[in-house]
């Protein structure tokens, strides 16, 4: 069978550096850091006292507060960005077949805040099991896709992928696959996460995964810097409207770019540590290039997973050098997590949006907070340090990797 082409016709973003897709893009180009002392709770006793929180956000500006109380923040974020993306796409919803419109979302953790608060409440009580009737529906990750479909009446494919920090890239790739197989005409895809909680920060601290640079939060996320000491926890969401190309063309849709391929792989090595040889990361990029039917030399920009961890950053760069050879020194490479922090299951969605806008505007967003070269990294690599760079970007690849050894990549092309 002939596979159908898939394009992106709408985007929405809620991030630590901008509460809409245009604001987010302006923040990226400006090299803005979203890291600051935590305001969600008293973090004075925590090893890490800062995070990349969403700022100046009031859910009451987007939905009835009574409805909002039925949702964990991660689902609220999903609703907000899905609405922005659908409006941006100008989908004529009343004219379309709802059975041909789906929602495939991603979240690594889901309703962590709800789970934490319900358990705290129970622990403080007299042992009588009093739980909110919305406890389970607020907590489980799949309700993000469920809420979006209920609001709009979308009756096509509907589920949530859970693969830690690769979740929303997996969701986008799944949506792409369903569309090119003709299983739907339109799929709303992306991811959301709201893990800046006592349990989230405490749990990652216990793993020694987070930066503890409390004296300078805004410079704490420093991928590829010699003195990187862990990632900065972020929160937020990103949404993309993926649409079958002929369907989009027929209605005269604005097209950001084409999704031309993707890949998945597993490290099969360790629950949290990356494979020391970057074997899974190498394979996922090879799989993505083969799926897109392009050569490594066709790629202009790689948005890396680049979390600012000592082992992870080097492993990914080694894999890039292995896959791209000498072309690795001709591409731009950057980690936008240096600005947004790590949005976990939502990372792939907002980073795919960064790639889309890099294609559209011929601007590569930077890797900020570079102060000291890591002698273990080849200086010939253009890691786009500290300032955005103008260049023609025709093909962009986005990487995301998750605990458990889950690897996912997506490739986007200018159209």
Based on the fold, state whether residues 204 and 62 are members of the same structural domain.
yes
Looking at residue 251, its pLDDT comes to 98
Structure tokens at 327: 């072309």
Based on the fold, state whether residues 37 and 122 are members of the same structural domain.
yes
CATH number for the domain spanning 233: value is 3.40.47.10
- Over residues 20-49, the mean pLDDT reads 98
Active site residue ranges: 165, 305, 342
Average pLDDT, the chain: 97
Tell me: the pLDDT tens digits for 225-247? 999 999 999 999 999 999 999 99
Looking at residue 276, its pLDDT comes to 83
Based on the fold, state whether residues 172 and 235 are members of the same structural domain.
yes
Flag whether pLDDT at 155 surpasses 90. Answer: yes
Q: Of 216, 250, 284, at which residue does a domain stop? A: 250
Tell me: the pLDDT tens digits for 305-345? 999 999 999 999 999 999 999 999 999 999 999 999 999 99
pLDDT band of residue 1 (cuts 50, 70, 90) is confident
Residues of the domain holding 279:
262-413
Based on the fold, state whether residues 232 and 321 are members of the same structural domain.
no
Q: Hey, is 203 helix, strand or coil?
A: helix
- Over residues 353-378, the mean pLDDT reads 97
pLDDT band of residue 46 (cuts 50, 70, 90) is very high
- Over residues 347-364, the mean pLDDT reads 98
Looking at residue 277, its pLDDT comes to 83
Tell me: the pLDDT tens digits for 66-100? 999 999 999 999 999 999 999 999 999 999 999 99
pTM of the model: 0.98
The percentage of residues in the chain with a pLDDT greater than 70, rounded to a whole number, is 100
Q: Of 250, 280, 304, at which residue does a domain stop? A: 250
Based on the fold, state whether residues 206 and 346 are members of the same structural domain.
no
Burial of 408 (0-12, 13-18, 19+ CB in 10 A): buried
pLDDT band of residue 350 (cuts 50, 70, 90) is very high
Closest CA to 348 of 306, 291, 376: 306
Residue entry with tokens 């805004």: 218
DSSP assignment of 336-360:
THHHH-B-GGGHHHHHHHHHHHHHH
Q: Hey, is 56 helix, strand or coil?
A: coil
Based on the fold, state whether residues 235 and 279 are members of the same structural domain.
no
- Over residues 219-224, the mean pLDDT reads 98
């Amino acid at each position: 069978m002939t596979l159908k082409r898939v394009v992106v016709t709408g985007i929405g973003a809620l991030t630590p550096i901008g509460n809409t897709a245009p604001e987010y893009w302006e923040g990226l180009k400006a090299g803005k850091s979203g890291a600051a002392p935590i305001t969600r709770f008293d973090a004075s006793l925590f090893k890490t006292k800062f995070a990349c929180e969403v700022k100046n956000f009031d859910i009451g500006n987007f939905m009835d507060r009574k409805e909002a109380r039925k949702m964990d923040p991660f689902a609220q974020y999903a609703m907000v960005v899905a609405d922005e993306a659908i409006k941006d796409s100008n989908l004529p919803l009343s004219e379309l077949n709802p059975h041909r419109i789906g929602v495939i979302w991603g979240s690594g953790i889901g309703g962590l805040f709800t789970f934490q608060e319900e358990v705290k409440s129970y622990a403080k009580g007299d042992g009588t099991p009093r739980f909110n009737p919305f406890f389970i529906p607020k907590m489980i990750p799949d309700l993000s896709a469920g809420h979006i479909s209920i609001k709009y009446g979308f009756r096509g494919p509907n589920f949530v992928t859970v693969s830690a920090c690769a979740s929303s890239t997996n969701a986008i790739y799944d949506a792409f696959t369903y569309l090119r197989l003709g299983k739907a005409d339109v799929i709303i895809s992306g991811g959301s996460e709201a893990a800046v909680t006592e349990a989230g920060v405490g749990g990652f601290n216990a793993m020694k995964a987070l930066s503890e640079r409390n004296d300078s939060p805004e410079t704490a996320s420093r991928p590829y810097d010699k003195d990187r000491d862990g990632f900065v926890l972020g929160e937020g969401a990103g949404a993309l409207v993926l649409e079958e190309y002929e369907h989009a063309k027929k209605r005269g849709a604005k097209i950001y770019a084409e999704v031309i391929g993707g890949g998945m792989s597993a490290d099969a090595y360790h629950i949290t540590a990356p494979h020391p040889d970057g074997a899974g990361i190498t394979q996922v990029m090879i799989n993505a290039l083969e799926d897109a039917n392009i050569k490594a030399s066709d790629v202009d920009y790689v948005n890396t997973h680049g979390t600012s961890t000592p082992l992870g950053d080097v492993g990914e760069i080694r894999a890039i050098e292995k896959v791209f050879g000498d072309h690795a020194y001709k591409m731009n490479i950057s980690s936008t997590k240096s600005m947004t922090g790590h949005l976990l299951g939502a990372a792939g969605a907002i980073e795919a949006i960064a790639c889309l806008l890099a294609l559209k505007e011929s601007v590569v967003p930077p890797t900020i907070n570079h102060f000291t070269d890591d002698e273990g990294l080849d200086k010939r690599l253009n890691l786009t340090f500290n300032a955005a760079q103008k260049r023609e970007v025709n093909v962009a690849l986005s990487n995301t990797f998750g605990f458990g050894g889950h690897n996912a990549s997506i490739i986007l092309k200018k159209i």
